[in-house]
Amino acid sequence: MTASEEGRSARKRTAIMDAATKAFMAKGYAGTSMDDIAKLAAVSKQTVYKHFTDKEKLFAEIVLATTDRVDAMVDLVADIPADAQALDENLTRLARQFLTALTQPEVLQLRRLIIANADTFPQLGGAWYEQGFERVLSTLATTFHHLADQGLLRIADPHLAANHFSGLLLWIPVNKAMFHGSPQHTQDELDRFAAAGVSAFLAAYR
């Protein structure tokens, strides 16, 4: 095993994870068979079962693996320049990135996948909410707290303000996307959502 290459076993494992992620996202938990995954990963079924004891375990693992990708989002909301002049502009930029990220097809598919199976895997939905959703919200709340300290915002409860910020932005576009198969949002529409949401937020919290 060199530095640039993993061992065969590890390679197969990631191939299976990738294939399973793609398959589950596209066809749901029940709609995906272990044979599908094995075929898509170009791996024998036996190998799948060597790495993951059963379908449920495999599913849990691929879902939890996606929480890593939240890091980028956390970084995004971790810091906003304390510039009173450009507050509007800075928040709007954040809002745009927020909206764009959350209306990506893969993100929406993942949301649907988890929600669809929240009954069957309650602990999984809970974990994803805590580690994905709530983590971003807490970071945003801290950021708002700083801005409030510096007198740029008037915020009693930063966590609540973070809730309101995301609610103003996301409720409509995310819902629309959840119920329709595909996103169907132009960048232009998203920008308008961002501008309107930020404007309402600042009216309430500046």
Residue 180 binding target from a second copy, DNA, none, CB below 5 to 8 Å by type: a second copy
Rounded to whole angstroms, the Cα distance separating 30 from 51 reads: 20
Rounded to whole angstroms, the Cα distance separating 185 from 105 reads: 11
Q: Does 135 bind a second copy (CB under 8 A)?
A: no
Q: Does 49 bind a second copy (CB under 8 A)?
A: no
Q: Does 125 bind a second copy (CB under 8 A)?
A: yes
151 φ/ψ angles, rounded to the nearest 5 degrees: 80, 10
Residue 8: CB atoms within 10 A of its CB come to: 9
Residue 77's contacts (CB-CB under 8 Å, 6 or more residues apart) are 94, 98, 136, 139, 140, 143
Q: Does 50 bind DNA (CB under 7 A)?
A: yes
Residue 187's contacts (CB-CB under 8 Å, 6 or more residues apart) are 100
Helix (H) or strand (E) holding 191: helix 187-205
Fill in the per-residue mask, 13 to 42: x = in contact with a second copy (CB under 8 A), - = not in contact. -------------xxx-xx-----------
| Structure letter (DSSP) for residue 103 | T
Q: Which of residues 182-201 bind a second copy (CB under 8 A)?
A: 182, 196-197, 200-201
Name the minimum Å distance from CB 113 to a second copy: 9
Name the minimum Å distance from CB 120 to a second copy: 8
Q: Does 65 bind a second copy (CB under 8 A)?
A: no
Residue 195 binding target from a second copy, DNA, none, CB below 5 to 8 Å by type: none
Which amino acid, one-letter code, is at 165? F
Interface residues toward a second copy, by CB under 8 A: 26-28, 30-31, 112, 114-120, 122, 125-126, 128-129, 133, 157, 160, 163-164, 166-172, 175-176, 178-182, 196-197, 200-201, 203-205
